[in-house]
Amino acid sequence: MCEAAAGFMTEYYEGLRARRVMPEVSSAELRGLVVEPLPRGGMEFDALLGVVRDVIVQNSRHNGHPRFFGYVASPGTAVSAVGEMLTATLNANVTSWRSSPAAAEIERVVVQWLKEMLGYPESALGLFVSGGSMANFSALAAARAAKGPADVSQAGMGASGRRMRVYVSEETHYSSRKAAGLLGIGEANVVVVRTDGRGRMDVEDLQRVVRLDEEAGALPLCVVGSAGTVSTGAFDPLAEIGEVARAHNLWFHVDGAYGGFAALAPSARGLFRGIEAADSVTLDPHKWAYLPTGVGCVLYRDGMWARKAFAHDADYTRVMGQGQDESFAFWDYGPELSRRFRALGLWLLLKHVGAEALGAAIEQNMACARYVERLVGGSDDLEMLAPVGLSVFCFRYAPPGYSGDLDELNERVLVELQRDGSSYLSNARVGGRFALRGCVLNYRTTERDMEVMVEDVRRVGRGLAGEA
Amino acid sequence: MCEAAAGFMTEYYEGLRARRVMPEVSSAELRGLVVEPLPRGGMEFDALLGVVRDVIVQNSRHNGHPRFFGYVASPGTAVSAVGEMLTATLNANVTSWRSSPAAAEIERVVVQWLKEMLGYPESALGLFVSGGSMANFSALAAARAAKGPADVSQAGMGASGRRMRVYVSEETHYSSRKAAGLLGIGEANVVVVRTDGRGRMDVEDLQRVVRLDEEAGALPLCVVGSAGTVSTGAFDPLAEIGEVARAHNLWFHVDGAYGGFAALAPSARGLFRGIEAADSVTLDPHKWAYLPTGVGCVLYRDGMWARKAFAHDADYTRVMGQGQDESFAFWDYGPELSRRFRALGLWLLLKHVGAEALGAAIEQNMACARYVERLVGGSDDLEMLAPVGLSVFCFRYAPPGYSGDLDELNERVLVELQRDGSSYLSNARVGGRFALRGCVLNYRTTERDMEVMVEDVRRVGRGLAGEA
C-alpha cells in the first residue's frame, strides 16, 4: 500500500510541470464518474489508487504547478507529504500537554521559531489552527475579550451596550469581516479605512474614523493591519498603525497570512518594523512556508486574553495529578478541542531545509514577480496596474488601438487563460480596474515560467481581441 | 524518504500493542530534547526521521493502542495514513468547486453517504470541518441566522434586542456552550435541561424551561440533542426532542460527534429515530470512523441558513465564467476559506473496507464495553456507575470493607493507572460520583484487552487501597 502510494507521489511530482494547471471537466461529467451509493463491501487498495490517479488527480487543479499563480496557494513539498503520513500514523491529538506531550512541546518550539522570525516577544503564546480564517477569528475573539466592556462570552453581546468597532482597510482580507459577523460584533461595525496610492492603510484616515466613533459613543475595539494584502501584496505601515492603536486603546492585530514568512527574506525584513507591538498576529504556514493546505497559526502577545475568550471547565477536560507545565491545554486558547499535530509539518520542513533556504526561496519568488514588471514594462500590449508588492503582480492586456472595454476584455482573457491550462492567474480590482493578478508562491517557479505566463496571456488575449 | 517513512509506519503499527500507552516524561525533560533556536541550515531526512522516532514518538501517548480508552479518541488506520500522504501530495484546496473540481465532488459524494447512513434528507447540504467543535459552532451559527430576530451577522448581536436561548442537557458536550459564547449568544444564555436516570435529556424539563423563557420574553433559539454523550454514551430521545423543537420553533441540532457512526451498527440503528427531522447534525469521522484527528462534518437540513450565516462577497472570491454547479463555494457554508481535502480519507476508508465491515467493527467495540459490565458484575471489588451506553463504560474500584473516600481513591487510581502505562482510562462524574470511564473506539481492541484493563485497575487499586 505504502509502496504504491510512494510511487504515485514520485510520479506526480515528476510529471507536475507537464500537466494542464486546470482540468477541462464539468460537474455533471465528474458526478458521472464518482457518484454511487454508500459502498457496502470493500475493494483492493491498488484498484482504489487507480481511481485516485485516473479520476481524482486527473480532474484536479494542480496548485503545485510552477505556473499556478492564482489566489495565495501553497505548492506543498515532498517532505510535508511524507510528514502528513507520519502525523497520521502517530495520530496525536494535540488538545493538551498530557494528551500529546511531544507534540505539545514541538508545537511550542515551532511557535518559538516563528516569534524569533518576526522579532515577536518571547513571552507571547501561539498555536496552530486550520488556516488564516480561523487565526483571524481567534485573534478577534481575544480582542473582544480584552477590550469589550463586559464579559461578553458569558453575558452575550446583547449585554455590551456599546457598538464595538473594528477597523480594516479597503484591502484587508474579508475573513476579519466574517469573524466580526460570527462573533456578534456585526459586519456593519467593521469600518473601512482608506488606502494610499499603494494599497496601504492610510493612518490619518484611521485616526479620523476612530475619533468619529469615539465621539459617537461607539467602542473602538480593534484595528487589523495587513502584512501583505491579497490583491496587490501591499504591506501596511505597522509601526504607525501600532501607535494609533496604543493612543486609542485598540487591539492591534496583524494579518500576515500571506506575507508573514517574508520576514525570512532579508529584502523584506524592514517591512515588519512595528510588528513586535501587535497584540496578535496571523501566519499561514500553508501559504509561504509551502506547506500543504490546513496549517494556520495565531500568536497572542498576552495569552491571558485568548484564555478569557476560549477557556472553559468540564469534568472530562479537568487535568489531574500534573504540574503546571504539564497542565497546559491548547483548547483554552483557541476554538478547537481535538487538534491535528499541525506543527510537525513545519518542524520537519524547517529542520530539513533550514530557514536560510526557505528565505532564499521566498526571495526568488519576489524576484519572479518583479521580473513580470520588467517584462510588462518592455512591452506595448501589457500594462502594470499596481506596483509589485512582495510576490504579487497585477497587470492587464491592453493591445494598442483596442477600442473596446478593457475590463471586459481582461475578464474574458482570465477565464480563457484558466481554460487554456498552461498558466493560471486570478483577478483583482485595482483602482477600479480589472486586473490579471498573480502571486508567486512556489519554489519550483523560475523566471522562464514568468516569460511563458506572459506569452500565454498575450496569445489568449490576441485571440479574444481579434474576435471583438 | 518515502521508503524510510513507510518502514517507520509498518514498524509503528506492528509494535503498537507492546508500547506503554502513556510515556513517562516531564515537560522540562522534553524541552531539553527539542528546544533549539530557529535552524538556519538543514539536515538529512533519515536523521530527522530518527528524531521523530526516538524523541517524538517515544514521548507520545499512543491513541492507537488497543487499551487506550480515554476520552473519545480514534486509533487511525494505515489506509488513512497513506491517504494523508496522497492528500498532501495532491494538495487540493477545497474552497470551492472551481478550485478543486474532483475534491469538491468527492466531498459531495461522501456527504451523500453520511446522509444515507443516517436516513437524513437527500436535499441536505454538508461539509467537512476540522472537528466536532467547529461543526457544533457552524450549526449554532446557522441556528442564529435562521431563528434570530434580525440579521445579526450584519448588525451585531447588540441589535437583536431579545436574549437568545440555547438548550443543552447536563451531559451535552461543552463545545456547544463554547460556541454560544463565541457567537455572542453568551454562555449564560445556555440553559441546562435535566437528564433522566440514564443520562438522557428529560423532554418534559425541556418543555418547561422553554416555556419559562417564552414567558420571560427571551427568544428560544436552539436545542442540542446528543447522539451519544461523552460521559456515559447516553443517547437523547431525538424524536421527542424534535417534536418540542417543532412546537416551539427551535432549531434542532444533533451532536453525533461521538455516536453518529453507530448508525452503521444494526444494534444501534433504532436509537437514531427522529434524526431525520434535525436541522443540523455533527459527525466526527475522526472518532468512530477511526480516521486520524482532524476530520469533522456538519450537515444542514437547509443549506440556506448556513449561507445566511457564512456567505460573503469579495472580488477575489468572485466566480466567473461557470455554471451553477461549478460556482458552488464551501466558504459560503462554513467558517473556513482554505480547506484541506478532508473527505479523501473517509472516501478511501469506506471504499477500501466498506460500510459493513465498519459497522461490524463498531458492533465489536460496543460488545467490548458490555463485556466490562459482565466482568464488573461478576466481581466484588468493582461496581458499575452507569449502564453501558454505546461503547462507553463507567465503573469504580470499591474494595470490600474500604472505609476511605471512594471518589478520592478512584481519582488516585486513575492517575496511577495512566502512569502505569498498560491501560488508559479517563474520568467522568456520574450521579455525583467519580467514575473510571472508558470508551472503546479501536478496531484492534479485543475482549482480552478488556480483561487486562480490569486487572490493571485492580492491581493499581489494590496498591493504593493498601497504602491508605
Strands (E) located in A338-402: 382-389, 392-397
| B365 Cβ contact list (under 8 Å, min separation 6) | B288, B391, B440, B441, B442, B443, B445
Q: How far apart are CA B222 and CA B226, in angstroms?
A: 13
* A160–chain B nearest CA distance, Å: 7
* Among A170, A156, A86, A168, residue whose Cα is nearest residue A343: A86
Question: Residues A357, A99: contact at Cβ < 8 Å?
Answer: no
> Residue B77's closest chain A neighbor by CA?
A89
In whole angstroms, give the CA distance from residue B396 to residue B408.
11
Asked if the model's pLDDT at residue B331 lies above 70, the reply is yes
pLDDT at A446 > cutoff 80: yes
Decide: pTM greater than 0.95: yes
C-alpha A72/C-alpha A231 separation (Å) is 10
State how far the alpha carbon of A146 is from the alpha carbons of A7, B169, B238, in Å: 51, 30, 39
Per-residue pLDDT, averaged over B126-131, amounts to: 98
The grid coordinates listed for A208 are 479620523
Strand ranges in A136-278 using DSSP code E only, listed in sequence order: 164-169, 190-193, 219-226, 251-256
> Which of A139, A146, A147 lies closest to A163, judged by CA?
A147
Question: In this predicted model, which residue has the larger pLDDT, B378 or B1?
Answer: B378
Q: What is the pLDDT of residue A316?
A: 52
Residue B324 has pLDDT above 90, yes or no: no
* Residue type at position A359: G
Q: Is the pLDDT of residue B323 over 90?
A: no
| C-alpha–C-alpha distance, residues B132 and B439, integer Å | 17
Mean of pLDDT values over A79-102? 96
- Is residue A8's pLDDT more than 60? yes
Q: Is the pLDDT of residue A285 over 80?
A: yes
Q: Do B314 and A340 touch (CB under 8 A)?
A: no
β-pairing, A426-430 vs A219-226, is unpaired
Res. B318 pLDDT band, cuts 50 70 90: low
Q: What is the fold, at CATH topology level, of the domain defined by B93-340?
A: Aspartate Aminotransferase; domain 2 (3.40.640)
Asked if residue A321 has pLDDT above 60, the reply is: no
pLDDT at A314: 56
Asked if domains B93-340 and B354-467 share a fold, the reply is: no
Mean pLDDT across the stretch A436-462?
98
Taking 90 as the threshold, does the pLDDT of residue A382 lie above it?
A: yes
pLDDT at residue number B160: 75
- Range 84-103 of B in CB contact (< 8 A) with A: 84-94, 97-103
Nearest by CB to B348, which of A48, A105, A157?
A: A48
Please report the pLDDT score of residue B151 as a whole number. Answer: 84
Q: How many CB atoms sit inside 10 A of residue A458's CB?
A: 16
Whether pLDDT at A380 is above 70? yes
Per-residue pLDDT, averaged over B107-122, amounts to 98
What average pLDDT does the segment A96-122 reach? Answer: 97
Q: Write down the CATH number for the domain with range B354-467.
A: 3.90.1150.170
Query: Over pLDDT 70: what percentage of chain B?
Result: 97
Distance CA A150, CA B168 (A): 24
Average pLDDT, rounded, for chain B: 95
**Grid coordinates standing for A164?**
464595538
Per-domain residue ranges of chain A: 93-340, 354-467
pLDDT score of A13 more than 90: yes
Write out residues 445-464 of B within 8 Å (CB-CB) of A.
none
Opening angle at CA A336, ends A334 and A339, nearest 5: 110
Q: Is the Cβ pair B183, A181 closer than 8 Å? A: no
Which of A216, A141, A146, A225 shows the shortest CA–CA distance to A184?
Answer: A141
Predicted confidence at residue B466, as pLDDT, reads: 81
B156/A contact by beta carbon, under 8 A: yes
- Closest listed residue to residue B142, CA positions, set B244, B287, B282: B282
**Interface touch A163/B163, C-beta < 8 Å:** no
pLDDT given for residue B142 in this prediction: 98
pLDDT of A239 reads 98
10 Å CB burial of residue A357 (0-12, 13-18, 19+) is middle
Q: A161 pLDDT exceeds 90?
A: no
Lowest mean pLDDT across A256-265, A307-316, B243-252, B456-465: A307-316
Q: Is A26 on the interface with B (CB under 8 A)?
A: yes
Give pLDDT, residue B237: 98
Nearest-CB residue to B174 (from A159, A231, A314): A314
pLDDT given at position B259: 98
> What's the rounded mean pLDDT across residues B170-193?
96
Q: Do A60 and B92 touch (CB under 8 A)?
A: yes
Give tens-digit pLDDT for A179-221.
Answer: 999 999 999 999 999 999 999 999 999 999 999 999 999 999 9
Average pLDDT over residues B71-95: 96
For B185, which of A39, A156, A163 is closest by C-beta distance? A156
Using the Cβ of B73 and the Cβ atoms of chain A, whether some distance falls under 8 Å is answered with yes
Of B87, B101, B109, the CB nearest to A23: B101
Across-strand partners of B195?
B201
Look-up of cell digits 492507537: B64
Q: Which residues contact A1 (CB under 8 A, 6 or more apart)?
A: A45, B78, B79, B82
Whether B182 sits inside 8 A of A48 (CB atoms) is no
Is residue B187 scored above 70 in pLDDT?
yes
CA distance A399 to chain B (A): 23
Q: A122, A293, A409, A430: best mutation site toward chain B, by most B Cβ within 10 Å?
A: A293
How far is residue A92's CA from residue A31's CA, in Å, rounded to a whole number? 35
pLDDT tier at A149 (50, 70, 90 boundaries)? confident
**Phi, psi dihedral angles at B441 (to 5 degrees):** -145, 35
Is a pLDDT exceeding 70 seen at residue A322? no
